[in-house]
A and B are shown apart, each in its own frame.
Chain A
Amino acid sequence: MAHATATDHMETSTGIDNRKLLMWLFLASDCLFFGSFIAAYLLYRGRSIVGPYPEDLFDIPFTSVSAFVLLMSSVTMVLALAAIQRGNVRNMRIWLFTTAVLGTLFIGGQVFEFTEFNHEGLSLSTNLFGTTFFVLTGFHGAHVTVGVLILMSLFVVSMRGGIQQKDSIVVELAGLYWHFVDIVWIVIFTLIYLIQP
């Protein structure tokens, strides 16, 4: 009765799964979190009185590849959800693992970028650019890291047979979080990296 269990859901006053509702509430509040940091970056852009400056450091080809990797991880994430919703646990595992690997690649790229910037003399306290840039992208990186941990946890649980078609909501919730960090990077990539006065 796989189909019956897949459509089985908790009775709630709204008819909506409370976990999903909570996740959307969290994402709506997280918009404000990142919106504040992006606003702070734009407020202080061009106001650093000592270098290094963004134009001295940004490596657009490298960051473009990172952005592409994170974007493609959203595709693999939604494929994992599509697989479990159709009861294909094996494919879900493959796509979940691929998503986690792509996320790890993105984090690796960010660590490399931060290290390079640091070697060029930029730290959290060097200037306004350093402070706002590291706080914004650092918190985003922390979100991606949490996402990778969630994905790897789901992968391990599924290897133990803990995720079946009826549990697809768990993968959906992880997916919502993962796509959110992706859309935040879409905004950061455009506003911070590509648009430079």
Chain B
Amino acid sequence: MTLADYRKKRGEPLISEDAEHGETHPSALEYVQIGVILAIITAVEVALYYIDMDFTLLVTLLSMLSVVKFAMVVLWFMHLKFDAGLFSILFASGMALTFAVFIAAIAMLGGSLT
């Protein structure tokens, strides 16, 4: 029995049906609103660059803002928030492996994140 058959048997919609109906996706207006938020965050990032502050604090703030922008694009524009969980697992696995290789390389070869 395939996963599709299993979901049909349980009366659950096929995974792709949820996504392709487009019923749960944001409207065009919501996409524009997200775009405005992303633009504002970018402006804040650039402003922070010019503000004289503790370097560790600057790195922390910029990293947090970058993660927020990254998450907004992935969740809303790439529809991970609305799509099948398998896509999230795949992408998260790739990101986790990348982060692990990244940290291992920095730790072993003596680089610095900052």
Contact = CB atoms under 8 A, between A and B. Distances in A.
A197 interface: yes
Contacts of B17: 7, 9
B2 A14 contact: yes
Contacts of A35: 98-99, 101-102
Contacts of B94: 27-32
Contacts, number: 172
A140 interface: no
A45 interface: yes
Interface stretch (A109-117, A155-163, A178-186): A178-186
Nearest to B68: A186
Contact of B46 (A21, A64, A79, A168): A64
Contact-residue bracket for chain A: 35 or more
Contacts of B2: 12-15
A7 B19 CA distance: 9
Q: From DSSP, what is the main secondary structure of chain A's interface residues? A: helix
Q: From DSSP, what is the main secondary structure of chain B's interface residues? A: helix
B102 A39 contact: yes
A42 B113 contact: yes
B38 A71 contact: yes
B35 A75 contact: yes
Given A35-B101, A39-B102, A186-B69, A74 B39 contact: no
Interface of A: 6-7, 9, 11-17, 20-21, 24-25, 27-32, 34-36, 38-40, 42-46, 60-61, 64, 67-68, 71-72, 74-75, 77-79, 82-83, 85-86, 168-169, 172, 175-176, 179-180, 182-183, 186-187, 189-191, 194-195, 197
